[in-house]
Amino acid sequence: LVELDRAHLVHPVASYRGHEKAGVRVLASAKGARVKEAGGHELIDGFAGLWCVNAGYGQEKIVEAATRQLRELPYATGYFGLGSEPAIRLASELADRAPGDLNHVYFTLGGSDAVDSTVRFIRYYFHAIGKPEKDQFISVMNGYHGSSTVGAGLTALPAFHAGFGLPFDWQHKIPSHYSYRNPVGTEPQAIIEASVAALRAKVEEIGPERVAAFYVEPIQGSGGVLVPPDGWVKAMRETCRELDILFVADEVITGFGRTGPLFACEDEGIVPDLMTVAKGLTSGYCPMGAVLLSDRIYDAIADGAGLTAVGHGYTYSAHPVSAAVGLACLDLYENGLLENGRRAGERLMAGLHSLADHPLVGEVRGRGMLAAVELVTDKAKKTPLPASAEPAKRVFDRAWDNGLVVRAFPTGVLGYAPPLCATDADIDGIIERTKMTLDQTLE
Ligand code: PMP
């Protein structure tokens, strides 16, 4: 398998360049929060795959729902006025639970195409209401909104721009709230004020009548699990309302219990104009993402946005098997998993905080089952691990050998996002194996 993989299977080049040489690690089976390599090596999956297997592995209810749907109707297009029962039901269940009037659901295959779809819907919306000049988009440095071309341009991580002339000239950024290394200091109110001022200044620079939307992850994930100060998301949401800019919450990572509630926007006390979800929507059992649109947006674009030709859609939008899986996931979240995730999240955060005095630990941050440890070589000076992927990859490899899957970001940040079904033993194992890995890294 390793030879065949090396010869034929393309892996993303963005993260661990060394992997091609070392050879792929083949996962063979999984149950709960544990995964097993082909050779039998068992690990705790501290990252739920790619922060997506929120329900955990081997959930019989999900397997049954998918199997039933595969037998009954494996495919129905969302085009031509066709549909399927699970897709309609899932849309309705999501609308019931989403904040405010996010009552309309467009299904995609994942997060990147959900983000792409928001850009299209927003452009249609401004056409429909007679403001087509609103065609400029703003996002936040260190943010991640996908690796499709439009999403990659909103993403603010340089590796996703290289070679493509990205971002597009209509895609703008403001500085991140990243509090551990922020030029305005660590004081929460100062960070909030700086971000509000940066958004206002950017809008002024572009021209207030030109700006369409502002994109926010309630917690920045791929940028290194960067948690904004309390009140930051709300302040940005209110500023957008004041400036007549749509607010898009990208909950691809934070949705479905990752930070405690079903959606992180609930904790923030905000209602976005549009919201993107994916990952935990189907917990990795099948691919699916979605855009949730508010009444105001949907009502304006529902019959073609006043344009003569409006085309948008994917062959596998509203896939019935994915939708059946999504319904089973929702059922599991609401019958125990959200609650277990909240309990396990407290244990995870407490456990990681117990490592705060370790010489390599600069900062521990997170909320619920979404956390990170930022590694430094000098705590007082906050010296990052040398800026190459290699040290991070070594930490990843060592953790792997110790039976732990963590995300090791090239910036020297370890990311955690265990399945919500994690037991106390799983969480304690994550902490013990992290400590063991850090001690070995010191040697
Ligand atoms: N938005 C956010 C916030 C994400 O974290 C991701 C994926 N990590 C995406 C969008 C893109 O999702 P996908 O990989 O499913 O295309």
Q: Which atom of ligand 1 lies at the shortest distance from residue 254's CA?
A: 3
Question: How many angstroms separate the alpha carbon of residue 439 from the centre of ligand 1?
Answer: 32
Rounded to 5 degrees, what angle do the CA atoms 176, 278, 228 make? Answer: 20
* pLDDT tens column, 335-363: 999 999 999 999 999 999 999 999 999 99
Q: Rounded to the nearest 5°, which phi and psi values hold at 372?
A: -150, 155
C-alpha separations of 184 from 102, 156, 188, 189 in Å: 35, 20, 10, 10
To test the pocket of ligand 1, the residue of 108, 112, 220 to mutate (highest count of ligand atoms within 8 Å of its CB) is: 112
| Helix/strand/coil for 75 | coil
Q: Rounded to the nearest 5°, which phi and psi values hold at 317?
A: -60, 140
Q: Please give the domain boundaries of the chain with CATH numbers for all domains.
A: 2-58+336-442 (3.90.1150.10), 62-331 (3.40.640.10)
Q: What residues are in contact with ligand 1 under a 6 Å CB criterion?
A: 110-112, 115, 144-146, 217, 221-222, 250, 252-253, 278, 289
To test the pocket of ligand 1, the residue of 109, 118, 144 to mutate (highest count of ligand atoms within 8 Å of its CB) is: 144
Q: How far apart are CA 145 and CA 276, in angstroms?
A: 10
Question: How many angstroms separate the alpha carbon of residue 107 from the centre of ligand 1?
Answer: 14
Q: Rounded to the nearest 5°, which phi and psi values hold at 274?
A: -140, 155
Q: Which of 122, 136, 120 is nearest to 171 (CA)?
A: 136
Amino acid letter, 362? G
Question: How many angstroms separate the alpha carbon of residue 278 from the centre of ligand 1?
Answer: 7
Note the maximum CA span of the chain. Answer: 66
Rounded to 5 degrees, what angle do the CA atoms 146, 27, 324 make? Answer: 60
**Could you state, in chain order, the average pLDDT of each consecutive group of 10 residues for the chain (443 residues)?**
83 55 85 96 98 98 98 92 95 98 98 98 96 98 96 93 93 97 93 98 98 98 97 98 98 98 97 98 98 97 81 92 98 98 98 97 98 94 76 86 94 95 98 97 84
